[in-house]
Structure 1
Amino acid sequence: MKINAVCIGHATVIGGKNAKTGIVKHPQGGTVIVDTAGLAGDSICNRKYHGGPDQAVYGLGSLDLDAWADELGHAVEPGLFGENLVISDVDSRTIAVGDRFETDGVTLEVTSTRIPCSTLSLRLNDPGFAGRFRTMARPGFYCRVLRPGMLRVGDRVACRSFEGPRITMPDMLRSLKSLSDGERARYRAAPISERVRAQLDSFVP
């Protein structure tokens, strides 16, 4: 397992939107610094829903991109979906909250999944793409940075599975409102993002 791509993006306007977005990301050569705020040089524009310590890095697996290439009928370049990292031999359907990705210098901990929005549809120039992305159920994973450092293409990566309750990325695509009391307790026992935790708390009767 290794890093196939490290991607950052600059604020730009897409699809006639009035607001800027950082979703348009491109692979980087050389070394990129990552800290608790994310990758150096990467733009986060809508901080209500994106960025912050619990969504510092967004990752996808190479197997996810392969599946999307089959679905779309053409090669998928790293960064197309706004991801910062592409990790080889990873299928995001199997990744759970609390799993850790470790290189020699960096440790990332999975906190939540990516919920597709209209900006993703604009990026793909397909009004229905957000729904298509959800149905595909390969949503990728947001991470907090436990150990800041340097990332570069080719870095070896180890995945350490969380030993507590496994809440996979497809699990997190479900509406939080639909969770049973037992499922809510299971979520709270995992190192979920503060955004998700706050949403869970807001649904308590």
Structure 2
Amino acid sequence: MKIQAICLADAQILPGKTSKTGIFKHPVNGAVMVDREGLVGDAVCNRKHHGGPDQAIYAMGSADLDYWSHDLGLTVEPGFFGENLVIDGIDSAKLHVGDRLTMQEVELEVTAARIPCATLSARIGDPDFAPRFKAAGQPGFYCRVLKGGFLQAGEAVEFTPYQGTQLPIPVVLQRFRPSRLSEQERIASLDTPLASRFRAMLES
């Protein structure tokens, strides 16, 4: 496994909207600093739903981009979905909350799935894309930064699976509501390092 691309964005206004977004990301060259809030220099505009220590970095695997390239009938380039990192050899549909990714200086912990929204649909130019994205089960994943430092494309990535009760990323994406979780999944939700925004859903 290795880092295929590191992607950043400046704040831009969505076509037909007045609000700004950081979804229009593009690959950058050279080393990028990572701190507890994510990639230094990256735009995060809607902090109610994005960003923060529990969702500091949004990543997708090469398998996710391959899936969407086939599904959309085009070559999906890194940053297309607003992801910060693309990691070769990763398939988000097979990840679990608590899995860890270790690079030369940086260590990340998987905390949640990416939940599609109207901003993603507007980015794609299809108002019905969000439910399609959710149904596909290839959402990418949010990470917490356990150890910051510099990160660069081409770096090797070491994968360490979570050793506790496992909560699959597709479950977090597609049916993370108290009434839809099995008892084991609910226990896993409480035991794993799940992002706080999602943990709060168990109490709603």
Q: Which runs of 5+ in 1 are unaligned?
A: none
Q: TM-score, normalized by length of structure 1? A: 0.96
CA contact 1:96–1:110 (8 Å) conserved in 2:
yes
**In structure 2, what is the equivalent of residue 189 of structure 1?**
191
Aligned to 1:84: 84
TM-score normalized with structure 2 length: 0.96
Q: 1:168 to 1:181 in 2, by over 3 A?
A: closer
Q: Secondary structure at the match of 1:6?
A: strand
Checking the alignment, whether the CA contact within 8 Å between 1:58 and 1:141 is kept in structure 2 is yes
Shift of 1:167: 1.0
Residue of structure 2 in register with 1:130 after alignment: 130
* Divergent runs of 4+, >3 A: none
In structure 2, the gaps of 5 or more residues are none
Indicate the SS of the match to 1:132.
Answer: helix
2:158 paired residue number? 158
| Alignment-derived partner of residue 36 in structure 1 | 36
| Counterpart contact for 1:69–1:75, Cα < 8 Å | yes
Distance in 2 (CA, whole Å) between partners of 1:168 and 1:123 is: 27
Q: Distance in 2 between matches of 1:55 and 1:176?
A: 19
1:175 aligned partner: 176
Q: Match of 1:176, as an amino acid? A: R
For residues 13-38 of structure 1, give each alpha carbon's deviation from its aligned partner in whole angstroms, at most 9, with x where no partner exists: 11211210111100010000011011
Identity of aligned residues (%): 52
Alpha carbons 2:61, 2:89 under 8 Å: kept = yes
Match of 2:8 in 1: 8
1:186, 1:78 → 2: CA distance?
31
CA deviations over 1:140-197 (Å, ceiling 9, x no partner): 1100000001111100001100001111111111131322444322210111011111
Number of residues of Structure 1 aligned to a counterpart in Structure 2: 202
2:98 alignment partner in structure 1: 98
